Amino acid sequence: MSNLLANLNTEQLQAVSLPPQHALILAGAGSGKTRVLTTRIAWLIQSGQVDPAGVLAVTFTNKAAKEMLARLSAMLPVNTRGMWIGTFHGLANRLLRTHHRDAGLPQLFQILDSGDQLAAIKRLLKSLNVDDEKFPPRELQHFINGQKEAGHRPHAVEAWDDYTRQRVQLYQEYEAQCQRESVVDFAELLLRSYELLERNEPLRRHYQRRFRHILVDEFQDTNRLQYRWLKLFADEGREGGAAMFCVGDDDQSIYRFRGAEVGNMRDFEREFGVHNVIRLEQNYRSHSNILDAANAIIRHNSNRLGKNLWTDQGAGEPIRVFEAFSDGDEARWIVEEIQSLVRDGALRSEVALLYRSNAQSRVLEHQLFSAGIPYRVYGGLRFFERQEIKHALAYLRLIANPDDDTSFARVVNFPARGIGARTLEVLGDAARTYGTSLYATVPHLSGKPGTVLGQFVRLAEDMRRDTAGLPLPELVDHVLDISGLRAHYKADKEGRERLENLDELINATANFLAETGDAEALAQPHALLADFLAHASLEAGDHQADQGADAVQLMTVHSAKGLEFNAVFLSGLEEGLFPHENSILETDGLEEERRLMYVAVTRARERLYLSFAQSRMLHGQTRYNLRSRFLEEIPAELTKWLTPPSPRAAQGGATGGVGGGYFKPSAASSSQARAPRPTAVALPNGLRIGQAVSHAKFGQGVIVAAEGSGTDAKLQINFGPAGVKWLLLAVAKLEPL
């Protein structure tokens, strides 16, 4: 038994072996919170204090849940199946499937991911003839999810004005539609399972008795409803209820925009009368150059609970900083560095490329692809979100549940079958009249709509009949053929990659079976199909092609939470990008961005590379940004600039120059192919690139480029909030500052 505890420091040991009482472990990045939580589960089981079935553990991502299970299996010679380990959504799904009748759901209910939910809302507005300019679908989606996360059903929403009252009405209609179609969105998973237990006392008692230990990782990012959900399982902290063991770090709270509340930590302490608050201060992850940088950055935030992190690992490599001419340039540099790391023996899977926004991944992917470096993208355009995969899943969903109107609408005319908008309108009207799903309404129709739609329904029915009893991969294979999807993409010149993705879907079912391996489930292919579809909705993003290969990892900083890598590249460190422009103006927003930066930096064990570009294509436009203020917050002695550091324009009033690297020899030598570069011009009046200037109309700005000569000479100037402009030098009346 002692070997489990052998490699822990004193505080960790204390946390792992606490008696069954509520506890809060509050500690910085890399201090072993997740390790403590996992070890505690193993220790409780190994020392006979709890049965595996008595453990409920919540993690933040599917990836984290998988890792935890793998580690537990390695530590313990017991079957981990009885344990409930997963994400909030995954566990809520499990609960609702088990008690679907009590929850008022058919067993094979489908899960709507956020894109499906938006489509369902659009469809709803259309069917009700609601003006979507007045009620923008995305906004309505946000409203509905917000209400659900606050635990409010339509009748419980306080509406003081007409507009809100109308939105509540739409919320109610939306709920009715979901119920009719047997579909459940993400927020509903949580709320529905919460209400199920709240309402059903015997069931609640059953789970309250069953779970003796509830353990929560990344507790700082739970929202109100998730916290209430936990409290219900823990019998509100009463004697005899489960012991709650929560670990978290207020400096890593990065989901406030989604309703997460650090306040839950304080409430937990108070409401559960937590006496055990344990702090871990030794960081085991990073060398001290990296850790010191992280500490220095986060120190700029106010309202922190306050922590001290230290490491005995030594300074390690300096943090490398690179200023690129363009985003393409930056990506090429990153790829060159990766190649050199790999030449030196690094594993590609130990290298992560992190970025603030998904849109940044494309140019990185492009360079990696061109260099032939295998990579995986987490999040972003996920496998399960690709068009062809969604079409295929829609057919599969119709097999599992014909009343799923979202899926029906998605594929009824895909591939094209001559079913027009008018026909679908007739169908939609009839469905409302009969109060049935689209599928079930078809037999009521006559005339041409009845005929063409009847053919589609027959197709779906053939599909269900012909695939009954087939193993899942064969079932999917069959559906791809009968539906016409394969033929459709074969005929498409650009369809090769999509066909490969469809084949990858078959591989995904095979992997899924291998992981499930439950004999009972195998006997019921259609129930298994529903499980697979739930898995697809929940895991979108975790499942990328070429799993298991040694590949570089690409992801947003948000999805990197809790993970660690030997080498981390953080690109796009520019004002407006990171910190993100939407957050710069509010203190809260800026502090959240800084926490995100703290998360990013603390993912690295040995090497950290920070980079930014003078110009970047984003959303179809070239943008010129100043380098991020977060770079300035890192003490100079921890960094090594690979390009000569250029003075940085101060916020608001430009005092130095931005970049100034356009004509620098270092930028010119770092790569060959690059974006068209402005030709150097002789600038009069002591103007130069990087010079701060003032303009009567646009205010203060910085010269970023120049072009042409004589009377044609033009300057490109970044005026900050007023935008980036090209001005004719002869008439611009610029004042050097």
Helix axes 114-127, 162-181, angle to 10 degrees: 110
- Find the angle CA(284)-CA(289)-CA(290) to the nearest 5 degrees: 60
* 218 in catalytic set: yes
8 binds ligand ATP per the rule CB under 6 A: yes
# binding residues, Mg ion (CB under 5 A): 3
Q: Which does 7 bind (CB under 5 to 8 A by kind): Mg ion, ligand ATP, none?
A: ligand ATP
Query: What distances in angstroms separate CA 43 from CA 51, 76, 82, one per listed residue?
Result: 11, 9, 16
Q: Does 33 bind ligand ATP (CB under 6 A)?
A: yes
Count of residues touching ligand ATP (by CB under 6 A): 19
Do residues 81 and 155 touch, judged by C-beta distance below 8 A?
no
33 carries a ligand binding annotation: yes
Interatomic CA distance for residues 249 and 286, integer angstroms: 17
> CA 42 to CA 454: how far, in whole Å?
56
| Interface stretch with ligand ATP, choices 28-36, 318-326, 345-353, 354-362 (CB under 6 A) | 28-36
- 418 labeled part of a ligand binding site: no
Residue 27 among known ligand-binding residues = yes
**Cα–Cα nearest to 285, from 603, 513, 562, 727:** 603
Report d(CA 408, CA 687) in Å as an integer.
64
DSSP letter string, 33-73: HHHHHHHHHHHHHHTTSS-GGGEEEE-SSHHHHHHHHHHHH
Largest CA-CA distance found in the chain, in angstroms, rounded: 86
**Helices and strands (H and E) in the chain: how many:** 29, 21
Between 285 and 391, whose beta carbon lies closer to ligand ATP?
285
* Residue 441 known to be catalytic: no
The answer to whether the annotation marks 34 as part of a ligand binding site is yes
Per-residue string for binding with ligand ATP, 601-630, x by CB under 6 A?
A: -x----------------------------
Residue among 181, 218, 292, 388 flagged as catalytic: 218
Tokens (6 digits) for 23: 């506890």
DSSP state of 606: E
Among residues 35, 40, 192, 535, which is the contact residue for ligand ATP, using CB under 6 A?
Answer: 35
Closest to Mg ion by CB, 67 vs 198, is: 67
Which residues sit opposite 351 in a β-bridge? 567
249 contacts ligand ATP (rule: CB under 6 A):
yes
Under rule CB under 5 A, residue 579 binds Mg ion: no
Q: Which is nearer to ligand ATP, 169 or 276 (CB)?
A: 276
Reply yes or no on whether 546 is catalytic.
no
Q: How far is the CB of 293 from ligand ATP (least distance, A)?
A: 15
Q: Is 32 annotated as a binding residue?
A: yes
**Which parts of 523-678 are beta strand (E)?**
552-556, 565-570, 604-618, 621-624, 639-641
Q: Catalytic pick from 603, 605, 607, 714? A: 603
CB of 691 to ligand ATP, least distance (A): 43
Catalytic-residue membership of 312: no
Q: Which CB atom, from 264 or from 628, has the smaller least distance to Mg ion?
A: 264
Report the candidate in 197, 215, 214 with the shortest Cα–Cα distance to residue 205.
197
566 near ligand ATP, rule: CB under 6 A: no
Tell me: is residue 30 an annotated ligand-binding position. Answer: yes
CB of 327 to ligand ATP, least distance (A): 28
Binding mask 25-44 for Mg ion (x = CB under 5 A): --------xx----------
Enumerate the β-bridge partners of residue 324.
613
Q: How far apart are CA 484 and CA 651, in angstroms?
A: 57
Picked from ligand ATP, Mg ion, none, the partner binding residue 30 (CB below 5 to 8 A depending on kind) is: ligand ATP
Q: Exposure string (b/e) for 241-268, b if CB count within 10 Å is 16 or more?
A: bbbbbbbbbbbbbbbbeebbbbebbeeb
C-beta of 484: minimal distance to Mg ion in Å? 46
**Known catalytic membership, residue 217:** yes
The residue from 39, 208, 252, 311 that is catalytic is 252
Tokens of 404: 């799923």
Nearer to ligand ATP, 353 or 476 (CB): 353
Among 562, 576, 657, 659, binds Mg ion (CB under 5 A): 562
CA gap 427, 452 in Å, rounded: 11
Phi, psi (degrees; rounded to nearest 5) at 111: -105, 130
Quick check: bond before 579 cis, omega within 30? yes
- Asked if 622 is an active-site residue, the reply is no
- Out of 113, 217, 330, 350, the active site residue is 217
* Closest approach of Mg ion to the CB of residue 90, in Å: 18
Tell me whether residue 244 or residue 424 sits nearer to Mg ion (CB atom).
244
The answer to whether the annotation marks 31 as part of a ligand binding site is yes
Chain positions contacting ligand ATP, by CB under 6 A: 7-9, 12, 27, 29-35, 249, 252, 284-285, 562, 564, 602
Give catalytic residues, as residue numbers.
Answer: 33-34, 217-218, 252, 603
- From the annotation, which residues make up the binding site for ATP? 27-34
- From the annotation, which residues make up the binding site? 27-34
Chain positions contacting Mg ion, by CB under 5 A: 33-34, 562
